[in-house]
């Protein structure tokens, strides 16, 4: 790495860390003011409040990293312009693209890290934070019991559960219907089960009072009954993929799901024939938001390089806040259309990035013409 690259990158990283620190303090202060009366009313211990905000920091970092990139881009380029360093670089034959190279490399590295951080670290921290929410503030409570659950398994099997209690991992009134893979209108077998319980040692469901019907050719029906049996021991059934964890995942909030869990949840919704548009939008938004680091760097650079004003730090900070709110507003507006199924989930998730990259390219084009 050349001395100039190190100099540019050092200035950018310092401004980035400064922006991150400022935004973290602001976010925590605003949230604490908003929730302080609730903490007091619920007599939440101080150590729990501290833990709550420690778990909250990854979510804050996810949200403000693009804002920090934008602020660093504005600060760095504006400073170079103010001190005529940018003019000196241009006189030496160093163009804007070459100047931005080390910053963009840093941005791509942060994007790769953000995909992992936002996809796995943040959901785990959110899960711990929301657990404190449920325990001490009574928010986002997960029901320990589920009624009338319908799940499609293996594309040709439908599982219907009348009632399930997660605390005891027991349930009753379960129906399992298997259909012909080549003709889904042809019912092959049906199991009606009075009660069931999860056996952790065998990782299988223990069924009680099972009534099996197998539908053969020529309207022939074979009947079987089992007083107690495991799904894996039934020849015509075998182990089912439904587990207690999968049942509970149906109640988790999107921000609690890792990328892999979120993808699995979408596949299960589709297999069950249920609406998955909202869940898909949230999934693809997790990925696209990581690329906001690159988008905001380009956008900030295009604004600063085109500006002839010598605004101070307060102005640059204000611009960063305003642009960030506009960007997040675009995301929320596009998500509304995606949730309703009016726009493809992938396009919905990437729409804000596409629009802001387009604006950045137009700004760079205008700069080249000057």
pLDDT tens across 72-85, in order? 998 888 888 777 77
pLDDT of residue 150: 79
Query: For the chain, what is the HEC assignment?
Result: CCHHHHHHHHHHHHHHHHHHHHHHHHHHHHHHHHHHHHHHHCCCCHHHHHHHHHHHHHHHHHHHHHHHHHHHHHHHHHHHHHCCHHHHHHHCCCCHHHHHHHHHHHHHHHHHHHHHHHHHHHHHHHHHHHHHHHHHHCCCCCCCEEEEEEEEECCCEEEEEEEEECCCCEEEEEEEEEECCCCCCCEEEEEEEEEEEEECCCCEEEEEEEEEEEECHHHCEEEEEEEEEEHHHCCCCCCCCCCHHHHHHCCCCHHHCCHHHHHHHHHHHHHCCCCCHHHHHHHHHHHHHHCHHHHHHHHHHHHHHHCCCCCCHHHHHHHHHHHHHHHHHHHHHHHHHHHCCCCCHHHHHHHHHHHHHHHHHHHHHHHHHC
What are the sequence ranges of the domains in the chain?
3-139+282-369, 145-243
Question: Average pLDDT for residues 172-201, to the nearest whole number?
Answer: 89
pLDDT of residue 207: 94
Question: Average pLDDT for residues 348-357, to the nearest whole number?
Answer: 95
pLDDT tens across 253-268, in order? 888 899 998 888 888 7
pLDDT tens across 125-152, in order? 999 998 898 888 877 666 667 888 877 7
pLDDT of residue 1: 59
pLDDT exceeds 70 at position 273: no
Greater model confidence, 331 or 183: 331
pLDDT of residue 88: 81
pLDDT of residue 44: 93
């Amino acid at each position: 790495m050349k001395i100039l690259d190190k100099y540019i990158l050092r200035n950018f990283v310092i401004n980035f860390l400064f922006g991150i620190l400022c935004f973290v303090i602001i976010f925590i202060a605003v949230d604490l003011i908003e929730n302080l009366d609730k903490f007091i009313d619920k007599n939440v211990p101080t150590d729990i409040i501290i833990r709550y905000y420690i778990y909250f920091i990854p979510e804050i970092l996810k949200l403000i990293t693009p804002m920090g990139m934008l602020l660093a881009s504005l600060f760095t380029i504006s400073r170079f312009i103010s001190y005529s360093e940018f003019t000196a670089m241009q006189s030496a034959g160093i163009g804007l693209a070459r100047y931005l190279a080390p910053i963009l490399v840093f941005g791509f590295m942060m994007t790769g890290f953000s995909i992992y951080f936002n996809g796995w670290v943040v959901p785990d921290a959110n899960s711990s934070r929301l657990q404190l929410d449920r325990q001490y503030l009574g928010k986002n409570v997960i029901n320990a019991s589920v009624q009338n659950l319908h799940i499609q398994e293996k594309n040709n099997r439908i599982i219907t559960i009348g009632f399930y209690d997660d605390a005891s991992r027991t349930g009753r009134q379960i129906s399992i219907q298997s259909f012909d893979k080549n003709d889904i209108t042809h019912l092959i077998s049906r199991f009606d089960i009075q009660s069931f319980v999860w056996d952790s040692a065998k990782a299988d469901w223990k069924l009680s009072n099972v009534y099996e019907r197998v539908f053969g050719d020529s309207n022939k029906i074979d009947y079987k009954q089992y007083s107690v049996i495991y799904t894996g021991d039934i020849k015509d059934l075998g182990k089912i993929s439904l587990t207690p964890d999968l049942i509970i995942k149906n109640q988790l909030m999107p921000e609690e799901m890792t990328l892999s869990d979120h993808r699995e949840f979408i596949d299960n919704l589709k297999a069950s024939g249920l609406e998955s548009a909202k869940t898909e939008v949230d999934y693809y938004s997790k990925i696209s938001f990581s690329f906001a680091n690159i988008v905001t760097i380009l956008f900030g650079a295009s604004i600063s390089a085109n500006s002839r004003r010598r605004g101070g730090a307060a102005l640059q900070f204000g611009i960063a806040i305003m642009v960030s709110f506009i960007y997040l507003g675009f995301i929320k507006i596009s998500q509304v259309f995606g949730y309703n199924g009016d726009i493809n989930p992938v396009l919905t998730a990437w729409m804000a990035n596409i629009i802001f990259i387009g604006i950045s390219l137009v700004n760079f084009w205008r700069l080249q013409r000057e």
